[in-house]
Amino acid sequence: MYLKVTPQKNGRVNLSFVEGYRDPVTKKVKHKVIENLGYVDEYLDLYEDPVKHFKEVARQLTLEKKRQDAENEIFLGTVNADEVMDENEDAMQHLGFLPLSSIYHELKLDQFLINRQRSLSIDYSLNDVMQLLVYTRILAPGSKIASYRKKDKIARPFKCDWYDVYRALDYFTDYREDIILHLHEQVRIHYKRKTDVVFYDVTNFYFEIDKEDDFRKKGFCKHNTRKPLVQMGLLLDSDAIPITYQLFKGNTHDSQTMMPVLAKTREDYGLGRIIVVADKGLNSGDNIAFLMAKGDGFIFSQKIRGANKELQSYVFDPSGYVEKKGVVKTADLWNEQEEKREPVFRIKSRPYPQEFWVTHANGKKHQIPIDVKQIVCYNELYARRQKHKRAELLEKAQKIIVNPKSYTKQEAQGALRYIKDIEYDPETGECINTKRIPYLDTDKIAEDEKYDGYYAIITSEVDMPDHEVAKRYHELWEIERSFRITKSDLETRPVNVSLENRIEGHFLTCYIALLILRLLAKRLDEKHAPEQIINSLRKYQACFIKDNVYRVAYYDTILKDIGDALNLCLNRKYLRTGEIRKLVADSKKII
C-alpha cells in the first residue's frame, strides 16, 4: 500500500491510499484505491506536512497487513510422494452439524437436558447423546451403533460410550412429553408459531421382524410389507413446523388417532380455536363431532369415488363451476416442466346437511346431520398427474398380460386393477396357470378416467371463501413431505431397536431432527427446501492435511445463505483445529 499524490486541474492536490494487485486474467499489475483521503489543503491545520504524515500511515498499514498475512499464512512444509494411506484411514471431518447446532441451542434443548441430568447418577452426557443422534440422523443416518461409530468423524467431542446411546433412549422417553412441550414454547417464542390452522396426518413405520408384540402390530401398509408396524400421528402448524407427534399400535385405524393427539395437545399447549386440515382417512363422524364439540373447525377431503349418486351428480354437473387463479401451488406440479400458462382450476360449493355416523356414550353409532359446506374442485395438474400414474400402471399391466408368471401378486400390485381373468395362489402369491387368458379391463380404465382431476372437500368454515379453503387443503401436501423426509432422507425406517421405550426414544430423536430442518428452512425464508439443505450439509466436510490444518471440501449457495442467516463463517477454505473449535462455540451462541 502506498500514498498516491494526484495534482488536479484546479490546482489542488488529491491524496489516496492505493494498493497494487495482479489481474488474474491478464497477469498485469493493476491498482485499486483503498481509501480516498481528500485534498492536501484540508489537512494543513492538522499536520505540518500532510503528505509526509500520510506516507507514514501508509507504511504502518502495509507493515500491519504483512504482519496479519504472516499470522494467517499456513506453512505445511513438504510432502513425501511415497507416503501411503493406513488401512481404514478416513481424513474427513463432518462440519455440517454447525448450522444444526445453532438451531439446537437456540431451542435451549441443551439446557433442558443438562438440568434434567443433575438429578441423575450417570457418568455420560444426555445432551451429547441427543446431539449425536440428531446430527447423525441428518448427516449420516443409520442404526444407533452406526451413529456412535461416526462420532469421531464429527468435529466436536461427545461424552458417551456405545452402550450409553441405548441407555439414553430410556431417559429421552421419560422426558418425551416435557421435551416436546419445551420445544413448542421455544418455537412459539423465537418463531411466533401460528396455530389457527393445523395439519394432521398419519403414517406407519415397519420393523424387520415377523412376529407381533404388544406394541408392534400388523396393519394396513401401502408398501404391503406384511411386517409389524407402529403408527405415527403428526401435527404441523400453519407454517408446516411440527407441533407434536404420537405413536400408536400398528393395527390402530388412522381415524382413531386424531382425537387423542388433539385432546392432549389442546390440554398441554393451551391452543385457541383451531381449524384442522386432514385427508379423507381422518374424515369420520366421531372426529367431526369431537371438533365441533370443542368449538374447533375442520377442512377434510371427501371421497367422490364410491360416494352417493347425489354427490357424484353434483361433481360432474358442469354448471356452477368458476375458474380461479393462484390457488394451485408450484409444489403441486407432478413434473418440473415450466408451464407456459396457468393450469385450469375450477371450483364450486354448496351448503349441505351431511349425515355422519357418531358413536354415542352407550357405544352405539347413530346417524346425525351436521351442516357443512361441500366444495368440489377440478384441478388440471391433478388430472395430469393421475393420467401419468395410470399410464405407468397400464404399461406394467400389458407386461403382466404378456407373461403373467413373471410377476408375483405383490409385484403386480396396482396394475392388477386393470387386468381381468388372472389368478394367484393365496399362499405363495404366484400366478396360477389357468385356461383363461388375462386381458385389460377397459371398462375399469374408462371409469377411472372419469374422476381425473376432481376432488371434494367438506368444511365447517362456511364463511371462509372457497378458494381459501382449497388453498389450505393444498397445503396438506407439506405434511406428506415431512413424512417423506422422515422416511427417505432421515431413514427413520426400518427401526433397529426393539424395546417399546427405546422405540419411543428413537422416534423422538427423529422428530427433533425434522423440527430442526424445518426451522432451518424457515430461517432461510423457505428459499431452499429441507431436502436441498440436507444435501449441502452432508457435503460440508473438511479433510485433514497435516499439522492441525484442514481443507474444507465443499461450499455452495445454500451454505452461504445458511452462514448469513445464522451468523456463522462457513466459507473459510482452510481451518486450523482452534478455528474449528471457535466455529463450534459460535454455533452455540443464541442469535
Q: What secondary structure letter does DSSP report for 438?
A: P
Give the model's pLDDT for residue 409: 86
Give the model's pLDDT for residue 333: 45
**pLDDT < 50 regions, the chain:** 331-336
In our burial notation (b when 16+ CB lie closer than 10 A, e otherwise), range 28-48 reads: eeeeeeeeebeebeebeeeee
Which are the contacts of 212, defined by CB distance < 8 A and separation ≥ 6? Answer: 218, 228, 250
The 8 Å CB, 24+ separation contacts for 571-574 are 574/74, 574/549, 574/550
Q: Are residues 67 and 107 in the same domain?
A: no
| Neighbour order of strands in the sheet with 13-22 | 2-7, 13-22, 29-39
Spatial separation of the C-alpha atoms in residues 128 and 114, rounded to whole Å: 10
Is 16 within a domain?
Answer: yes
List beta partners, residue 236. 199, 242
Contact 514, 482 (CB under 8 A): yes
Is 496 within a domain?
Answer: no
Q: Are residues 110 and 54 in the same domain?
A: no
Q: Are residues 336 and 435 in the same domain?
A: yes
Contact 274, 196 (CB under 8 A): yes
Q: Are residues 342 and 386 in the same domain?
A: yes
List beta partners, residue 234. 201, 245
Is 205 within a domain?
Answer: no
Q: Are residues 118 and 67 in the same domain?
A: no
Is 411 within a domain?
Answer: yes
Is 305 within a domain?
Answer: no
Is 38 within a domain?
Answer: yes
Give the model's pLDDT for residue 336: 45
Spatial separation of the C-alpha atoms in residues 538 and 150, rounded to whole Å: 13
Is 148 within a domain?
Answer: yes
How far is the CA of 563 from the CAs of 19, 97, 135, 371, 524, in angstroms?
30, 12, 17, 51, 10
Spatial separation of the C-alpha atoms in residues 486 and 576, rounded to whole Å: 35
Domain C-terminal end among 436, 461, 486: 461
Within a 13 Å sphere around the CA of 238, how many CA atoms are in the beta-carbon half?
12
Spatial separation of the C-alpha atoms in residues 463 and 221, rounded to whole Å: 37
Q: Are residues 405 and 442 in the same domain?
A: yes
Is 357 within a domain?
Answer: no
Q: Work out the burial of residue 181: count CB atoms within 10 Å of its CB; fewer than 13 is exposed, 13-18 middle, 19 or more buried.
A: middle
Q: Are residues 106 and 8 in the same domain?
A: no
Within a 13 Å sphere around the CA of 297, how many CA atoms are in the beta-carbon half?
20
**Residue recorded with cell 462420532:** 151
Counted domains in the chain: 3
Q: What Rg do the C-alpha atoms of the chain give, in angstroms?
A: 32
> What is the span of the domain harbouring residue 67?
2-72
DSSP string, 529-591: -HHHHHHHHHH-EEEEEETTEEEE----HHHHHHHHHHT-----SEEEHHHHHHHHHHTTS--
How far is the CA of 87 from the CAs of 84, 90, 91, 153, 548, in angstroms?
9, 9, 12, 16, 21
How far is the CA of 173 from the CAs of 151, 501, 584, in angstroms?
22, 6, 28
Give the model's pLDDT for residue 395: 94
Spatial separation of the C-alpha atoms in residues 134 and 147, rounded to whole Å: 9
**Residue recorded with cell 482452510:** 574
Q: Are residues 32 and 96 in the same domain?
A: no
Q: In this structure, what C-alpha cell is assigned to residue 444?
A: 375399469
> What sign has the CA pseudo-torsion 231, 235, 241, 247?
negative
| Single-letter amino acid code for the residue at 168 | A
Main-chain phi, psi angles of 133, to 5 degrees: -70, -35
> Which stretches within 140-201 are classed as H helix?
144-149, 162-174, 176-191
Give the model's pLDDT for residue 559: 97
pTM strictly above 0.85: no
**Residue recorded with cell 404420537:** 246
Domain C-terminal end among 461, 480, 509: 461
What torsion do the CA atoms of 325, 326, 328, 330 make, to the nearest 10 degrees?
130
Domain C-terminal end among 437, 461, 485: 461
Q: Are residues 50 and 128 in the same domain?
A: no
Q: Are residues 96 and 68 in the same domain?
A: no
Q: Are residues 412 and 336 in the same domain?
A: yes
Q: Are residues 101 and 28 in the same domain?
A: no
